[in-house]
Amino acid sequence: MSLIVLLEPELQRVDHLGSGGEEYVEGVRAVHAAEADPSVPGAPGDHTLCGADTRRMQTVDYRPSAPGSPWYPPKWHGTGRVCRDCDRAVRSA
């Protein structure tokens, strides 16, 4: 199975210390996996392995460096952002 790694966006509130102001920046809610779309090289299919719509998600250019490496980039390890359902689907494939 050829996988595409996707980031699900989320707006996060940022407080400006001392100024009393705040703003919102785009962060990451979850890291998902989707099968590649066979008709469009490098693009994900319509849904992630957990069933989420991929249209608003950002594609991550990542391929595991060695057999047994996680399907997602190392920076997301231990963050709690990796989708458990996608992870379970990848591991069972």
pLDDT in 10s for each residue of the chain, 93 residues: 689 999 999 987 777 666 666 777 789 999 999 999 999 988 999 999 999 999 999 999 999 988 889 999 999 999 999 999 999 999 998
Cβ-based neighbours of 23, under 8 Å, separated by 6 or more: 13, 14, 16
pLDDT of residue 25: 77
pLDDT of residue 21: 67
**If we measure between CA atoms, which residue out of 53, 79, 80, 83 comes closest to residue 71?**
83
For the chain, the domains span 3-92
The DSSP secondary-structure symbol of 75 reads G
Query: Rounded to two decimals, what is the model's pTM?
Result: 0.85
